[in-house]
Amino acid sequence: MIKINEILPIITTTAILFIAATMGAMFTETSWTSMYSIAFAILFYIILPGYCIMLNFNINNLERIIFGMAVSIAVVPVTAYTIDLIGIPLSTRNVLITIILICATSLILRKKFNK
């Protein structure tokens, strides 16, 4: 079971990203939807998979966010390249499914090994 102190950094990071997107849309000529899609992409592609993987390690929340970003930047492109090599076409839907599977697998492993 994920505790509230483990999910609080993701909530805080999400709030910061969407506040930054709102400020960017207000003070630049970029559309709101573009700014929010960039914020969502940063959260979903760069932060969330690595954070889920790093939940398996005994480190504090700030380190988990920072190391999780590096892990995401390493794992997601390699996984996307691998699914392309095995014959699954590389599309947005397939990459999203891959990221969801990475998060789900890391959470299942956490539940299995951290009883």
* CA dist., res. 65 & res. 86, Å (int): 31
How many helices (H) and strands (E) would you count in the chain?
Answer: 5, 0
Domain containing 81 equals 4-113
pLDDT in tens, 40-74: 999 999 999 999 999 888 888 888 889 999 999 99
pLDDT reported for residue 36: 93
Average pLDDT over residues 7-14: 89
Domain tally, the chain? 1
Q: What is the pLDDT of residue 7?
A: 84
What is the pTM (predicted TM-score) of this model? 0.84
| Residues in CB range of 53: below 8 A, 6 or more apart | 68, 71, 72, 75, 102, 106
